[in-house]
Structure 1
Amino acid sequence: MARQFNELVKDFNSIRSYARDFYINGYKQREDFQEKSLRSYDNERRRIESYLRDYIEWEQTAQGKSLRLEVTQEQEHPFFRLWQTKSFTKNDIFLHFVLLDCLAVGGVQSLPQLTKMVHNNYLNQFSEPLSLTDITIRNKVKEYCQLGILEEIEKDKRIIYQLKPLVPLPDNVVDILHFFKEVAPAGVIGQFLLNQLVPAASPFTFKHRFIVHSLDEQVVLNVLAGLNQRRLLHLTHFNGKESTMVPMSLYVSTETGRQYLIGQLMRPNILSSIRIDGIKELSLGSVVKDYQTYRDAFEQKKHRAWNGSFNQQRLKSLKILLRIEEGKEDYLMTRLTREQRMGHSRRLDRQTVSFEIELTDLYAINPFLRTFIGKIITIESSDLTWLEQFNDDLDQLITLYLSKEADHDN
């Protein structure tokens, strides 16, 4: 008999990896897939498509079938569906409904009472009863307590179990959860809480919606746990490398949505940043006894880095004069004040504003400075290599636009 196709997922890291290959890092065609067999490619692609069928668009091209994700502002976050996958056996799915039914009908029950109800009220209804031991039932009850589905209570020196009540959600919290699930690290928690309510449209729309990072939520949760408990983090990267780090902070880019783990690497002993989407697995280690020492060093260095780019170089100064007309372009001054981070700005006269900053890596501030092109009067810096490169980039940009204008005139 032909082997039946299995739609189940044993390990979320597996579906996370395939989802990255199929929908984030460029859709891999069958001939590009080298991780496992071509049959694995077909199985995993078909499996993920079944979860994301409401979001997948495709068209026939000369090279074959081309697929892509199409997500509108009104649609739910597609990758949250992947977090609702779970592997199970026939005994697992049987006990899932039976245990919940026993506790919903019979109320609180001890383990012997639950076991008796399962055997007498359910297993006996089959002409060929399932082979289900008391140990299997007990293990499933313990597992559901760990997952938060059931609740273990001690009463009259007995351990009894009941369905864990849903988290109460006041009306004024619902909108907060709709916002949280889209913008915060580990936002999938917000979606899980909303799943217990009748589905309703979110009141928010987002100009930039960074859906791809929801695949990294478990890594983020472990990072936050490590930060809260001041414990070492053991990392396994997708490239196969391993490292150990004392966590300091979690940075999230407002420009790309990318998340970075900032911490002190043990080997080499340096402050570094690691992209969360490059971490395959992350586990908690021992408590760091001298954590505050690392923390104090980080607090000093974080004010020298524009983003997550940390290095051991000396500080470099930067001073820029900007043409921002008072009264007419106050919005630019407001934006500069809001986004300048550790820099300082001041108005020199009605048309000129000075912006000064000291950083260990001036290249990190380039995207911010480029948003003021056309307003820059002069630039001074102690890093002459950076200054030459920045001016050269501007010259190439001006030459490119002038050549396009000349072609248009001709």
Structure 2
Amino acid sequence: MAYNELIKDFEKIRKYIREFYIYGFKSRSEYSIKSSRSYDDEKRRMESWLGRHMTFTRTSKGKIAAISIDSRAFRQNPLYRALKTASFTPRDITLHFILFDLLYTDSEKLCRNEILDKINDCYLKDFKNPMEFDDKTLFNKLKEYISYGFINADRTSKPFSYTRTGSVNLSSAIDAVNFFSEAAPCGIIGSFIKDLLNYELFIKKLISKKSVYVDNDVCKTFNDNSCLKISDSANTTLKSIFLFKHHYITQALDSDILASLFTAMHEKSFVSFSYHSGSGNPNNIDNIVPIRIYISAQSGRQHLLAYRKQTKRSYYSFRIDYMSKVKITGRCEQFEQIRTRYNRLKPYIWGVNCKRCIKYLEHVEFTVVINPDENHILHRLEREKRCGNISKIDDTHYKFSADIFDTNEIIPWIRTFICRITQINFSNRSIENRFKKDIQSMYEIYGI
């Protein structure tokens, strides 16, 4: 079967990119899920999208490929290309362009019978073996595009009439679009908007030269001897003013999962999904009410905090990159009560772990030394305290205290003040003893 760059199931590509190019760094000989031919096909697809960002090394295991990207040099997430390769059938793409050619402006209004007649009488009649589109196919396609917001249906008229949704000029907001596409969840939406704005800019450049498309990928200009190549569209782009010191590009791979979760939150619905947290088989998780998405500013890792009914713990956190096959399963009538209850618990969440009530809180406090000329340390403590409180003991000592659900989550942050800590006190004594033991082990290593 011929190799095709387009794909139907993005989940398979997501696994390949993660396992071989981001986390795994595996060779072809270590791939055992499917045949070597499958590996070769997927590898060629990924190289076509990410070729300039791929590196190869030879080891005793064989040739190993990996993604290598300097976030200071690239202003757009290259993994978005993998999300723009969905396959389609000839009938789908034909009907798509015919529909938007008929509804070329938001003032053009047609009923379904008129659309079907124009398709058969104007667009397909000159073909020797024309495609056939029936009323049901057209109805389903219009219904799909209405759900996407591409087309509006006027249900007050008989029969229903359809118009194209009016476009919004975002050219003046290009900086906001650039920032959103690289920093926000589901930034792929911003990337699609940037593609559209770049295309419009390229068309304006062609029109300004009074050019028309001719063979050999060039535009012939009537009023002078200059030419503009179609390939120059790569240089006709709206450059981003943003560079990111910490650019968590792998979040792009979870865009479809996040979109489904946000939709479920908006519709106040249950979801089910497959969850793969280890080397074993994935677990099917159901009766989940998504509440909030948490994104780590330190690692970029994304978590879903959700409510699961009929369980003792009630609130759970799930890593987004372990999730797949998210489905919206039905409306949750108690969504507002669940959200209200979560809002009461939210002030005691340090990271992503949450328990069902505040009687399970753990107390954390520690004292640090901050000299009078080290205001930047105090400012950092104030900036990063989250749900904690800071009190001044004397001119050089400050105490941090907090009541949280999970002391383990705050330990990495406490370690960043380790040379300044003079006293610690955790209500969870096992974690306190482990922390002190780690300090003692470090003293022994360094001979202190």
Q: TM-score, normalization: structure 1? A: 0.87
User: Does the Cα contact within 8 Å between 1:181 and 1:191 map onto a contact in 2?
Assistant: yes
Residues 102-129 of structure 1 deviation map (CA, whole Å, 9 limit, x = unaligned): 4449954443333333334443433x32
Q: Structure 2: any 5+ residue segments left out of the alignment?
A: 199-236, 277-281
1:275 positional shift: 0.9
Mark the CA change 1:150 to 1:228 in structure 2 (over 3 Å): closer, same or farther.
closer
Code of the aligned partner of 1:96: H
User: Does the Cα contact within 8 Å between 2:26 and 2:64 map onto a contact in 1?
Assistant: no
Superposition map of 1:20-39 within 5 A: 20-39=18-37
- The residue number in structure 2 matching 1:254 is 297
User: Does the Cα contact within 8 Å between 1:243 and 1:267 map onto a contact in 2?
Assistant: no
Mark the CA change 1:118 to 1:227 in structure 2 (over 3 Å): closer, same or farther.
closer
User: Does the Cα contact within 8 Å between 2:29 and 2:61 map onto a contact in 1?
Assistant: no
Stretch moving more, 255-264 or 394-403: 394-403
Superposition map of 1:43-192 within 5 A: 43-72=41-70, 73=72, 74-104=74-104, 107-126=108-127, 128-135=128-135, 136-153=137-154, 157-169=158-170, 171=172, 173-192=173-192
- The residue number in structure 2 matching 1:325 is 371
For 1:165 and 1:295, how far apart are their aligned partners in 2? 35
Find the residue that maps to 1:317 and give its secondary structure: strand
Match 1:227 to one of 246, 261, 265: 265
1:7 aligns with 2:5: yes
Match 1:373 to one of 418, 423, 426: 418
Q: Structure 1: any 5+ residue segments left out of the alignment?
A: 404-410
Mark the CA change 1:78 to 1:309 in structure 2 (over 3 Å): closer, same or farther.
same
Find the residue that maps to 2:304 and give its secondary structure: strand
For 1:341 and 1:59, how far apart are their aligned partners in 2? 43
User: Does the Cα contact within 8 Å between 1:22 and 1:45 map onto a contact in 2?
Assistant: no
Mark the CA change 1:32 to 1:240 in structure 2 (over 3 Å): closer, same or farther.
farther
Query: Aligned pairs, how many?
Result: 398
Find the residue that maps to 2:96 and give its secondary structure: helix
> Could you tell me the percent identity over the aligned residues?
30
Mark the CA change 1:399 to 1:202 in structure 2 (over 3 Å): closer, same or farther.
farther
Stretch moving more, 157-166 or 70-79: 157-166
- The residue number in structure 1 matching 2:319 is 275
Mark the CA change 1:295 to 1:163 in structure 2 (over 3 Å): closer, same or farther.
closer
Q: TM-score, normalization: structure 2? A: 0.80
Find the residue that maps to 2:80 and give its secondary structure: helix
Find the residue that maps to 1:196 and give its secondary structure: helix
Residues 2-30 of structure 1 deviation map (CA, whole Å, 9 limit, x = unaligned): x3223331123233233222323323332
For 2:120 and 2:59, how far apart are their aligned partners in 1? 57
Stretch moving more, 218-227 or 393-402: 393-402
Stretch moving more, 267-276 or 26-35: 26-35
RMSD: 2.7
User: Does the Cα contact within 8 Å between 1:167 and 1:193 map onto a contact in 2?
Assistant: no
For 1:390 and 1:335, how far apart are their aligned partners in 2? 22
Mark the CA change 1:132 to 1:303 in structure 2 (over 3 Å): closer, same or farther.
same
Find the residue that maps to 2:192 and give its secondary structure: helix
1:147 positional shift: 3.4
